[in-house]
Chains A and B, each alone.
Chain A
Amino acid sequence: MRAIEARGVFAAHGTHAVLHGVSLSIDAGQWLAIVGPNGAGKSTLLRCMAGLKSVTAGEVWLQGQHLAHWPARERARKLAWLGQGQAGDDEMCVADTVALGRVPHQGWLGLPGVRAADRQALQQALIDTDMSWAAGRPLKALSGGERQRVSLARALAGQADVMLLDEPVSHLDAPHQRLLAQVLRREAGRGRAVISVLHELPLALAADQVAVMQAGRIVAHGSRDDARVHRAIEAVFDQAVAIARVDDRWVPLPAY
């Protein structure tokens, strides 16, 4: 049983078709990076897989069950989402913002008590993202990268089986990009399935699998060591990069 699976998904923005029969799946314990040029449909695909955008044809299945058949709260426990939007209310402190990731477990009605599991998940998420030091600070006191890590911590706090992350490193500096790679690898190691849309090719080539998208289609999908994937990356980026082996890892080198 696949952790999450898109089967022949078509989607459109108004009359403009964005996805053309995309199929993509991932097993538990894997980290998959989706790369491609701007406008390739990466974020739209992720939104379709999160149930945030209607598909015009095709289906999305989560843990062997059609996504639409999951009750909302159950689905929220299984699937965490990190979009490109805001981190939260500027005045709200980091701990309160991250704690919202526990809503699927606590419920959204009233003021549920905080259980030991919630406290533990909150603390773990803050430690994983190196944000424990800021727990009591309001978001407005943080930099863009720190706010990005708060959002990631909120997504981690839900401890969902499947994590869908849309550009989770857009504001992160190099040390924190490395931290994110470690976190995602650890989450995959804990049996979670992680799909992340990434513009940072070095990070994408650290994932277990890479899917390359262009013009609403997946043009290659395979292991990070797969030569077809490397050639596809070079092609969709107009040969502006060349994938090479350096110190036992794959890295994109500028080709200009």
Chain B
Amino acid sequence: MSARQRTSVGLLVLLTLLVLLTWVGLGMGSAGWQSPWQVQTDGALRQIVWDIRAPRTLGAFLVGALLGLGGAVAQGLFRNPLAEPYLLGSSSGAGLCMGLMLTLGLPWAVSTGMWGRLGLTGAAFVGAVGGVSLTLMLARGAAHTMRLLLAGVVVGVVLGALTQLMMLWSAEAWRAMQTFMLGNTAMLGWPACALMATVLCLALPVALTLSRVLDALSLGEDTARTLGIPLGLTRGVLVGVLALSTAAAVAQAGLVAFVGLVAPHLVRPWAGARHASMLWSASLMGGVLLVAADVLARSLLAPQELPVGVLTAVMGGTYLLVLLHRRAA
């Protein structure tokens, strides 16, 4: 099978899965399964599907797509297959700034409207850039996998502890952050979807425009530089894409770990290593993974719900161990 055929088959399988999972996501509720077709005759169901399940399912897809994109950019940018927003301190940095906003009790920080979402996303963006910068500084660059991983873990733990510390000052912020820290898709509404879709429509084309830079970086920084690529500028833009994607996702759904790590690895066998196809494939895969995780989170202990971040952490953590074991072998 040629590379083009492999990509087409992979894309077809993913899109089919997405359609099926979306259908399940729209029909699954606390009262069990209701076919989404019934919305034509059932007004109450129509409202539930339109106001709750549709934005939640679309939102889960967008969160996953943004994290998948962030992971693919991070792995290409830092030439490290274990790089991802969560492990680079990007998510924990975003979390810290969001915690700060909530603790300070800024009115827009607790609003669920578009302005509230925008404000939180802005704060998360600042935190994400800070988190990645701190990790890279501690790791003295991104060349050494273990150093980068350890630095990311240290930054994640320290920023996480600072976030927890801030929560002690405000009981209200504590409650809000509990949901946030575990990663949750239950509260995703249309404003969150609109914001994430906007960010994805902005970040994905920018990343694709710089896909050859990511390809060239696989040859090493020196070689990329001698190919005439202005590394300082392009790396700055790509870190911006990484931070913006992470911030938009984290600000809406909290800390959803490992999707950014797993998605690029899952698409490489069929999408290839060229970032022109890998970036959007990883984004699509991230979206499908999170919609699947969301459906599982709603169904495993129904009518109770599991926070989606717990599921991705368990599945992603296992995958990371397998990956490390394979690299060590």
Mark A residues whose CB is within 8 Å of B.
47, 50-52, 72-77, 79-83, 85-93, 96-97, 100-101, 103-104, 108-111, 136, 138, 151, 154, 158
Contacts and interface: CB of A to CB of B under 8 A. Distances in A.
A88 B218 contact: yes
Contact of B227 (A85, A104, A111): A104
A47 B226 CA distance: 10
B216 A86 contact: no
A111 B212 contact: yes
A79 B227 CA distance: 9
B228 interface: yes
Interface string B1-16: 0010000000000000
Contacts of A74: 228
B223 A72 contact: no
Contacts of B226: 50-52, 76, 79-81
Contact of B274 (A72, A73, A86, A92): A92
B228 A103 contact: yes
10 tightest CB-CB pairs across the interface, nearest first?
A76-B228, A85-B220, A91-B273, A81-B226, A89-B218, A92-B273, A73-B228, A89-B273, A103-B227, A72-B228
A72 B219 contact: no
Given A86-B219, A89-B273, 7 more contacts: A77-B228, A85-B220, A85-B223, A88-B219, A90-B273, A100-B219, A108-B210
Contacts of B274: 92, 96
Interface in B221-249: 222-223, 225-230, 234
A76 B224 CA distance: 10
8 contacts: A76-B228, A92-B272, A93-B3, A101-B227, A110-B208, A111-B212, A111-B276, A136-B3
Contacts, number: 93
Contacts of B272: 91-93, 96
Nearest to B209: A110
B228 A83 contact: no
A253 to B, nearest CB: 36
A100 B215 CA distance: 8
A109 B214 CA distance: 11
A85 B222 contact: yes
A50 B220 CA distance: 15
Interface in B48-89: none
Counting chain B CB atoms within 10 Å of each CB, the highest count among A51, A96, A158 belongs to A96
B216 A108 contact: yes
A52 B225 contact: yes
Contacts of B223: 81-83, 85
B213 interface: yes
A50 B218 CA distance: 19
B222 A108 contact: no
B211 interface: yes
Contacts of A51: 225-226
A97 B219 CA distance: 8
A73 B227 CA distance: 7
A202 B209 CA distance: 46
B268 A108 contact: no
A154 to B, nearest CB: 7
A85 B212 contact: no
A180 B120 CA distance: 58
Contacts of A80: 226
